[in-house]
Each structure stands twice: as C-alpha cells, then as structure tokens.
Structure 1
Amino acid sequence: MKRTYRLAGSIVLAASLSLLSACSILPKPEQVDMYRLPAAQVPVAASHSAPVTWSLRLDKPMASGALNNQNIAVVPEGNLISNYKGARWSDTAPVLLRNRLLDAFLQDGRIQGLSTDDSNLQSDYELGGELLAFQTHYNGKSPQVLIQYNARLVRSSDQRVIASKRFEARQPLSNPMVPSVVAGFGQASDTLMPQVVQWVMQQGQAER
C-alpha cells in the first residue's frame, strides 16, 4: 500500500514539473500600446453662416487590407508596407478618419443633420470614398505622415455621384518614435479636415 502511494506521488510530482517546464518555454504575450487619433489641435472654425437645409451621412471610406485594421502602418522603402511593433490604433484607420470628419463637421456647425453609417439614418447626401494612404512614409531621407483620401459626395435619393476629389496631407516628422508619429497623424488630419469640410459645403449648396 505504501508503495502505491509513493508511486502516485512520483507521478504527480513528475506531472507538475512537466507543466512548469512547459509554462517556462511558452512565449510571453506581446505588450501592445493602444493609441487614439489625437484630437484637433487646430479645430475647424465655427462658421457664422446660416445652417443648411440638407443632411449628410458620413460613411467609412473603403480601404485595402493593409489599412483596414488597427495596425499603425509604415512604408520604410519602395513598395514594402509594414507596421510599428507593439502599437495599435484604437480603431481601424477608416473609422478613425470618419470619426475625425464627424468632429470637423460638428465644429463647423452648418450641417445640423449629421449621421454616420453606423446609425444608417436617411440623409440627403452621403460622403464616402476611398482611404488610399494612412501611414508613415520614408522618402529616402526623413519620415513623414501621409494621408490620402479620395472623397465622393453622393445624392442619397438616386445614388448619383455629385462630385469627387482627392485630398492629401503630408506631415514631416522630426522624431521617428511612435508617440511622435501619432502626433504627426493628428497634425496631418488638422490640415485635411477643413479642406474636406469646405469642399462638401460648396458642393452640397451648389446642388440646392
């Protein structure tokens, strides 16, 4: 009987040691820092013009698989696209851009009937398009943030394209570390947002 207990104890001890050994060789999970797109440092100035009578829905722009995720993309050279290790956006790049546009239109104040494709409310116009670039780009010397947005304004009643335009913003970076890169995305967005807002206002009013 004692021999049986001794054998069982040996088996338990061996199993425990085996489990500890297995745990020691498992890779540790990667620590990931989550970053929001910075709030506007240069907010879109509130317009003193009267509110418009039409409504607008903001759609997430379409994007390639390399951008339609939470990675912070970087193009170190040529056609190679990579991402910053241990860092992620708080949402996908198309959602970040759409939400930043929503903030810009709210700050402008002329369109009171604003919605997004998440709510799927009826609207007079829809702003969508393609997110062509949302990345850090190295041009052989110093890095810069590059945002390219092909905007498309569509009349909701018949899905006719009213106008389309490509917008681009570049922000040079003096520091290649991730926090500075994230700040650069905020600065590039500050450049882009007023241009898109003003273009949409002009095109929407021209149709009335």
Structure 2
Amino acid sequence: MNTSCRNLALLCLFLPLAACSIVGGPRESPAIYAPETRISTDPAWPQASWGVVIAHPGDARLMDGQRIAVSPVPGELQVYRAALWARSPSEMVDDVVQRTLEDSGRIATVARQGSGISASYRLLLDVRTFKSDYAGSATPSAVIEVNAKLLHQEDQILVGSRTFRQAQPASGTDVAQVADAFSQGLGTLGHDIAGWTLQTGQAHQQQAHRGAP
C-alpha cells in the first residue's frame, strides 16, 4: 500500500479529538471493547502480612475517558471512530493490579479506595499514557505508562515510587487487534506493578522492624 492510500485509510479509522463535541450528522453505534487480561504471578514474590488499598489521583487525564486514543503521527492525538472502552483506563489498570495481587496469594489484604477496608499501605496509580501509537510504523503499539507510589498510611511516608511502561505491538491496524495488544500489555503491567508493590512494601516492613526498639 502506498503512502497516500495508507493515509486515507487512517483518516477513515480516526476521529480528531476536536470533533468529539460536534452535534448532528449520521451516528454510528460504537463497538465496545473490554480487554480480557491474563493474570500472571510469581512464586518468588515475598509473603506479606500487611495489606494495601489501591487508589488513583482525583483529576482525570484526557486519555482516561472511554474513547480509545490513538496517535497516528508523533505529537498528534485522535480517537478511533465508533469505538469505546467498556471501562476507563484507570479502572482497567486498578483491576489488573488488584486481581494480580489477590491471585498471587502473597498479601493479607488488597482493596480499592472507598471500599471501607483499611490497610497499612496505599498504592497510588497514575495512568499517564494509554494510547495506540503508530510511532512511524505501519502498525501501532498499545502504549501504557503508569506511575506507582506506595505510601505507608500511618505516617504518610512515601515508601517508593516508580514509573512502569509497556509498548505491546498490535498484530494489525483493526481496533480489535489494538484492543488485544492492550490486553497483553495490561497483563504484563499488572505483573510488574504487583511484584514491585510486594517487594517494596516488604522491604519497608523489614527496615521498620530492624529500627524498632
């Protein structure tokens, strides 16, 4: 496919963000995508007797809505036509991290903020990037970037902070293929954040016990 044909095909797939508020014209019934994430744990993770509550910043970012963001060229952000996420990116990230921690069997308690369950630590997850990115290639990658902060609840000490990034190549340009790439990327991201949380929290616990009189 030559460059002109490829650009025309991309225009048919994408909708500029500025057009999201336009009223009138024919409406397409959107396809709803709910990535099915495979949970992966590691038996080498430490056993924790403490618990964690998962939270995220109150200010929603542009890419935390249900429209599926795509960057066809560097510096330009659009959305796929007639395609939506079933849940927001922050909800998907929270869910995969919680499920990974629960399925690991390595932590006493894991819950979401607002559940009424108290825990020793709070895991703050800030979804910075959640988009399909062509980055000059013929097919896009599912790019997810999340900053994780682990805070000790009792004294509000920041125990650790780390930014996690996944770029999972899609098998094609169809939105369904892009959604599948997000599913794979979320699984890897959940594994990495869960493992880091257990290791960082456990290291803090051991340090606190060594310093106790």
Q: TM-score, normalised by structure 2?
A: 0.78
Structure 1 equivalent of residue 100 of structure 2: 104
Structure 2 equivalent of residue 23 of structure 1: none
Tell me, yes or no, if structure 1 residue 113 matches structure 2 residue 112. Answer: no
Output the CA distance in 1 between the equivalents of 2:50 and 2:61.
Answer: 34
Tell me, yes or no, if structure 1 residue 37 matches structure 2 residue 30. Answer: no
Q: Is the 8 A contact 1:36 1:90 kept in 2?
A: yes
Output the CA distance in 2 between the equivalents of 1:68 and 1:77.
Answer: 20
Q: Is the 8 A contact 1:74 1:83 kept in 2?
A: yes
Tell me, yes or no, if structure 1 residue 149 matches structure 2 residue 150. Answer: no
Tell me, yes or no, if structure 1 residue 167 matches structure 2 residue 164. Answer: yes
What code does the residue aligned with 1:153 have?
L
Larger radius of gyration: 1
Tell me, yes or no, if structure 1 residue 74 matches structure 2 residue 62. Answer: no
What code does the residue aligned with 1:57 have?
V
Structure 2 equivalent of residue 188 of structure 1: 185
SS in 1 for 2:182: helix
Q: Deviations over 1:146-203 (max 9, x none)?
A: 1111110011112221100011111112301011000000111122222111111111
Output the CA distance in 1 between the equivalents of 2:158 and 2:37.
Answer: 30
Structure 1 residue runs of 4 or more that deviate by more than 4 Å after TM superposition: 48-51, 61-64
SS in 2 for 1:166: strand
Q: Is the 8 A contact 1:150 1:167 kept in 2?
A: yes
Output the CA distance in 2 between the equivalents of 1:148 and 1:86.
Answer: 24
- Which of the numbers 200, 204, 207 marks the counterpart of 2:201? 204
Indicate the larger mover: 29-38 or 128-137: 29-38
Aligned length: 181
Structure 1 equivalent of residue 155 of structure 2: 158
Output the CA distance in 1 between the equivalents of 2:45 and 2:69.
Answer: 39
TM-superposed CA distance for 1:80, in Å, is: 1.4
Output the CA distance in 1 between the equivalents of 2:156 and 2:114.
Answer: 18
What code does the residue aligned with 2:96 have?
R
SS in 2 for 1:77: coil
SS in 1 for 2:82: strand
TM-superposed CA distance for 1:99, in Å, is: 0.7
Structure 2 equivalent of residue 10 of structure 1: none
What code does the residue aligned with 2:190 have?
M
Output the CA distance in 1 between the equivalents of 2:110 and 2:188.
Answer: 22
Output the CA distance in 2 between the equivalents of 1:160 and 1:55.
Answer: 16
Structure 1 equivalent of residue 56 of structure 2: 60
Task: Give the gaps of 5 or more residues in structure 1.
Answer: 1-25
- Which of the numbers 133, 139, 143 marks the counterpart of 1:137? 133
Q: Deviations over 1:42-75 (max 9, x none)?
A: x323637774210111113566532121111111
SS in 1 for 2:123: strand
TM-superposed CA distance for 1:37, in Å, is: 2.3
* Identity value in percent: 24
